[in-house]
Amino acid sequence: MIELRDIARAFIVGGRPVHALRGVTLSVRAGEHVAIMGPSGSGKSTLLHLLGCLDRPTAGSYRLEGRETADLGEGELSSIRRHKIGFVFQSFHLVPRLTAAGNVELPMVFAGLPRAERAERIERALGAVGLQPRAGHRPDQLSGGERQRVAIARAMVMEPPILLADEPTGNLDSRAGLEIVELLEAMNASGLTLLVVTHDGGIGGRAPRCVRLADGVVVADERR
């Protein structure tokens, strides 16, 4: 489903290149659950952004469902972001003035879904994360764990086959973090392809496969 070959990403900072990724080769099959670990600055977020088509590599090949993403135009990439890939961030990235339901509705507004279908999907997505009773709450009226569940509902409302999560428990206490991990694992058990960046060894250790990055390269790829 995901095939990276010799992926490099350099950023130019002050006229000099910063090599965030230096030749990453990695394949992920549909339905896998992969933890991505590594020290701060090792390229984990850069890798996730490339996988999510939020960024393009400087070199190398990224095939998604058999299609070379370098050959795709902006319209096709935005369709992939809308329908194929959900993204969850450490700091939730919810819109503060919108309710939980309003946040979950946003991707469907961008996708042009009719109002009745949006309402139905909001109910289903918030139900799937156990938050239907909080549909009318704004982010500042929710706990951290609840905010992340809203973010997961928003990421999943278009029913993408892949979910990418960048330190999804990084701003949560251990109990709320565990609930988020269990929720993601349950979604993976029903077929979702799941890639989770974490530097929490306890969380990484739960995944059947762990890819370790250091200094922009894969230094270990372990299956349990």
Ligand X SMILES: Nc1ncnc2c1ncn2[C@@H]1O[C@H](COP(=O)(O)OP(=O)(O)O)[C@@H](O)[C@H]1O
For residue 148, state whether it binds Mg ion (rule: CB under 5 A).
no
Please give the C-alpha separations between residue 50 and each of 34, 44, 59, 103, 175, in angstroms, as whole numbers: 16, 10, 11, 24, 30
Tokens encoding 184: 């993601």
For residue 13, state whether it binds ligand X (rule: CB under 6 A).
yes
For residue 99, state whether it binds Mg ion (rule: CB under 5 A).
no
Query: Using the rule CB under 6 A, which residue among 2, 20, 125, 196 binds ligand X?
Result: 20
Query: Using the rule CB under 5 A, which residue among 45, 169, 188, 193 binds Mg ion?
Result: 45
For residue 90, state whether it binds ligand X (rule: CB under 6 A).
no
For residue 90, state whether it binds Mg ion (rule: CB under 5 A).
no
User: Which ranges constitute the DSSP H helices of the chain?
Assistant: 44-51, 74-83, 100-110, 115-128, 144-156, 174-189, 201-204
Q: Please name which of 31, 187, 164 lies closest in space to residue 93, comparing C-alpha atoms.
A: 164
| 165 in Cβ contact with 196 (< 8 Å) | yes
For residue 198, state whether it binds Mg ion (rule: CB under 5 A).
no
Classify strands 2-13 and 33-37 as parallel, antiparallel or unpaired. unpaired
Least Cβ distance, residue 168 to Mg ion (angstroms): 12
Nearer to ligand X, 7 or 150 (CB): 7
Nearer to ligand X, 153 or 196 (CB): 196
For residue 46, state whether it binds ligand X (rule: CB under 6 A).
yes
Query: Using the rule CB under 6 A, which residue among 5, 6, 11, 173 binds ligand X?
Result: 11
| 60 in Cβ contact with 8 (< 8 Å) | yes
For residue 42, state whether it binds ligand X (rule: CB under 6 A).
yes
Q: Which residues contribute to the site for Mg ion (CB under 5 A)? A: 44-45
